[in-house]
Structure 1
């Protein structure tokens, strides 16, 4: 039996639909997609609470459906918004105004082998990204727009990093994220990556 090799193809994104918009005001954090307990989503309101405890103006926006939705809906926290899944065009508009996308999916063989579409949509929308450090979230030669932390320190490290930013520096990272998406995350680039993997 020949040995099988597994490669991760970066998720392509419609860079004309997901675009960078006007970003201002409080730091706006976002997670969209499946709101499942196994995806680590319950950690995200803790990030918002910790930021606010440090006097940092921030909001958290979560869009999706899953077994954590009811629990999340019961959280009463200033600046916390949760909605059901949104139409793609509405989601793209909202993402364009947010600042930092979150990837809380834990170290697990399912997530380690997945290149999440939401990461590509975050970057195309000009968001910096914070997540848990594993192969499914990593990008070779990524800039400071991608911050990945040990699972045990995800909440505290994310809060520390956001606290270290000012709006000017964050905007610089956001522009770099959008530039990376334009160069590397269009659907045509994903097809090329798949073709190269098949022919190797």
Structure 2
């Protein structure tokens, strides 16, 4: 099988592109040939063909400009598309290239890693594009992919006839250190992802203050970039226990997680986060971390996991120090860490990829 994958992610710079990379590598291991269209610059030494298209890297213009340049590229590169058995397209580009997709007349699938998340005028425009993309997919797509059951429910509000396949965030256990973790003198905690105000980042600062108040020796490592970096930097400058690393490579993130005990899921209980399937969660698990943060469907992978200590409500930073103290007193961290890592095996990219291939084949067969 040959697949063309059109992604809106930068495969080198965007930490969220771990999903695309994991799935693409999984498909290749299943002997599927992949051609990737993306805006990534200078990508090489991969087992897939890469075709770059331009976009204007200015907030609000990225999707529209990327769609314009992608449509031009597709008109010139129809040979690759004509050889494909199917095409996978990020929702953000579907309104721009639907004419090309209909001309090519190949099975195509919309993939949605989540609707727009920010509250601004530009986001309102993006939400219109998102709804339009799904409306188009309802009429013309062979199939569709979302990240969670809650996400599936959200999409079905647009059209009840849409029946997406859920692609949870996965992980590659080989990327993570498998040595036994021990808490000695300092509890190490990490957050990896966007540093945006609407993701509940202030609650991480509150957690650090509360741990300090309870005399729990700790180190919180923050990795990423976003609109709340100024606040995070200022607090890091005033605290010996709070470290901001900025935007770093995936390998650097994994190196920090290797020496970490708890992973934070701070995203608040709002629709956009309830429908999520964050890649950071499976990466925390693969590294043997225990999970802390606010409890809701988007912050957990399943119910009643003994290594997950999520708390309902916005006061989770006030209650978490007691939980950490209890774990330290019981001395059962090693056991819980091992269970977290074992649970991650159920979300190996290869397992998720095989389900994806089965769905694609069934949809094409039944079209």
- TM normalised by structure 1 equals 0.89
- Mean CA deviation greater in 80-89 or 162-171: 162-171
- How far, CA to CA, are the matches of 2:164 and 2:271 in structure 1? 12
Q: How far apart are 1:143 and its partner, in Å? A: 2.3
* Contact kept? 1:126, 1:174, Cα under 8 Å: yes
Structure with more contact order per residue of length (Cα contacts < 8 Å, sep ≥ 6): 1
Relative to its length, the structure with more helix (as a share) is 2
- How far, CA to CA, are the matches of 1:61 and 1:97 in structure 2? 11
RMSD: 2.2
2:337 equivalent in structure 1: 174
Q: How far apart are 1:194 and its partner, in Å? A: 4.2
Give the direction of change, closer, same or farther, for the CA distance of 1:86–1:126 in structure 2 (3 Å limit).
Answer: same
1:140 equivalent in structure 2: 302
- Mean CA deviation greater in 119-128 or 87-96: 87-96
Q: How far apart are 1:19 and its partner, in Å? A: 2.6
- Mean CA deviation greater in 7-16 or 170-179: 7-16
1:113 equivalent in structure 2: 275
Matched, 1:54 2:246: no
1:13 equivalent in structure 2: 171
Give the direction of change, closer, same or farther, for the CA distance of 1:113–1:58 in structure 2 (3 Å limit).
Answer: same
1:102 equivalent in structure 2: 264
1:70 equivalent in structure 2: 230
* Contact kept? 2:176, 2:254, Cα under 8 Å: yes
Matched, 1:44 2:207: no
Q: How far apart are 1:74 and its partner, in Å? A: 0.5
* Contact kept? 1:33, 1:118, Cα under 8 Å: yes
- How far, CA to CA, are the matches of 1:16 and 1:192 in structure 2? 18
- How far, CA to CA, are the matches of 2:160 and 2:250 in structure 1? 41
- How far, CA to CA, are the matches of 1:178 and 1:142 in structure 2? 16
Matched, 1:4 2:4: no
* Contact kept? 2:265, 2:291, Cα under 8 Å: yes
- How far, CA to CA, are the matches of 2:316 and 2:257 in structure 1? 22
Q: Secondary structure of the residue that 2:353 maps to in structure 1?
A: helix
1:15-50 deviation digits (Å, cap 9, x = unpaired): 101234454430101101100000001110211111
- How far, CA to CA, are the matches of 2:163 and 2:224 in structure 1? 33
Give the direction of change, closer, same or farther, for the CA distance of 1:15–1:68 in structure 2 (3 Å limit).
Answer: same
Q: How far apart are 1:189 and its partner, in Å? A: 2.0
How many residues are treated as equivalent by the alignment?
199
Give the direction of change, closer, same or farther, for the CA distance of 1:142–1:193 in structure 2 (3 Å limit).
Answer: farther
- How far, CA to CA, are the matches of 2:164 and 2:211 in structure 1? 39
- Mean CA deviation greater in 43-52 or 121-130: 43-52
Structure 1: runs of 5 or more not aligned: none
- How far, CA to CA, are the matches of 2:315 and 2:357 in structure 1? 37
Structure 2: runs of 5 or more not aligned: 1-158
- TM normalised by structure 2 equals 0.50
